[in-house]
Amino acid sequence: MNELIGTLLYPLGITANYTGYYYIIYAIELVASDPSHLMLVTKDLYPAVAAHFSSTSSRVERNIRHTAGLAWDTNPILLQELAGHPLQQRPRASQFIAILTVAYKKLLAHEDLYGQQCFF
């Protein structure tokens, strides 16, 4: 599992004791490698994650939706910073994946949340 994505999830209250933690990490890795997965979330992304974990698409969606709610309840300010804009309500599961994928790509590029180059 990708530890860098884990560093995004922990401050949002999403830890490894949630099934959604693993689903989210794998979904972000898939979307980071091929953003077209976000175009057909229910027909492409969730089934791919479900197949990887021997689960079902509905379970994957439910667990990711639960982790999005957990993140919203735990640290909405950080979630909005990651999103780059104010959020009026909890993001849908697909929005949550998109927000985290952008944040993950910025970390990979050694950029802060605002696109500025970081040296760490």
Q: What is the pLDDT of residues 72-106, one digit of tens each?
A: 999 999 999 999 999 999 999 999 999 999 999 98
CA distances from 60 to 50, 105, 111, 113, 114 (A): 6, 22, 30, 27, 30
3-108: CATH number: 1.10.10.10
Which bin fits 84, alpha (ψ -120 to 50), beta or left (φ > 0)?
left
> For residue 62, which of 78, 49, 80 has the smallest C-alpha distance?
49
Can you give the residue ranges of every domain in the chain?
A: 3-108
Question: So what's the pLDDT on residue 114?
Answer: 57
Q: What does DSSP assign to residue 35? A: G
Give the global pTM. 0.87
pLDDT surpassing 80 at residue 6: yes
Give the span between the Cα atoms of 15 and 74, in whole angstroms.
12
| pLDDT tens figures, 67-78 | 999 999 999 999
